């Protein structure tokens, strides 16, 4: 029993020394710790995003989807917002009445990529989730919405067309 207690205290002492060394290392290498935590957080975010089936894309990535994969562009802003300026060839399905337009939306080809956007990306993210529930799989959300598109100096169309 005495030998077991000595072994226990020796192992505990080694464990505490390791913890102290780890804390000292973390203090000395705070920059590496921050980089590691940031990288890990980005990895988790991107992994969860891919698992959701809805990819956030930049204006440049959106342009590639449109030009190379013939993506269908869906603007989920209100009609008034749409008329003030929208992406070329965008179809307007306002978020407020999105589920009422289900029949029109189902006419879209489910095997084509869909690019959804709104003003900032929030309404289009919700609409993309609804489309995922309808069986659409190639869903993309324009990160930061039309604001990002305009800030990148990409063209917009004004009017109903």
Residue 49 CB coordination number (10 Å): 13
Q: According to DSSP H, which parts of 53-121 are helical? A: 59-69, 79-84, 102-106
Distance CA 85, CA 123 (A): 17
- Compute φ and ψ for 7, nearest 5 degrees: -65, -45
pLDDT tens by residue, 31-78: 998 999 999 998 887 777 666 678 899 999 999 999 999 999 999 999
- The residue annotated as part of the active site, out of 115, 118, 139, 142, is 118
Which among 105, 95, 148, 96 has a CA at the least distance from the CA of 125? 95
pTM for the structure as a whole:
0.69
pLDDT tens by residue, 106-151: 777 667 899 999 999 999 999 998 888 888 888 999 999 999 999 9
pLDDT tens by residue, 5-17: 888 889 999 999 9
Q: Which residues contact 102 (CB under 8 A, 6 or more apart)?
A: 134
Active site includes 118? yes
């Amino acid at each position: 029993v005495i030998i077991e207690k000595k072994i226990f205290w020796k192992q505990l002492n080694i464990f505490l020394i390791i913890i102290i060394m780890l804390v000292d290392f973390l203090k000395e290498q705070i920059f590496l710790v921050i980089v590691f935590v940031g990288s890990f957080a980005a990895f988790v975010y991107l992994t969860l995003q891919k698992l959701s089936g809805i990819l956030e894309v930049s204006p440049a990535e959106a342009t590639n989807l449109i030009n190379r994969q013939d993506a269908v562009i869906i603007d989920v802003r209100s009609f008034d917002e749409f008329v003030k300026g929208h992406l070329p060839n965008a179809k307007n399905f306002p978020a407020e009445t999105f589920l009422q337009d289900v029949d029109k939306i189902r006419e879209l080809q489910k095997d084509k990529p869909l690019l959804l956007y709104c003003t900032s990306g929030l309404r289009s993210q919700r609409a993309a989730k609804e489309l995922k529930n309808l069986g659409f799989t190639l869903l993309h959300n324009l990160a930061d919405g039309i604001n990002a598109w305009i800030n990148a100096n990409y063209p917009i169309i004004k009017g109903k067309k």
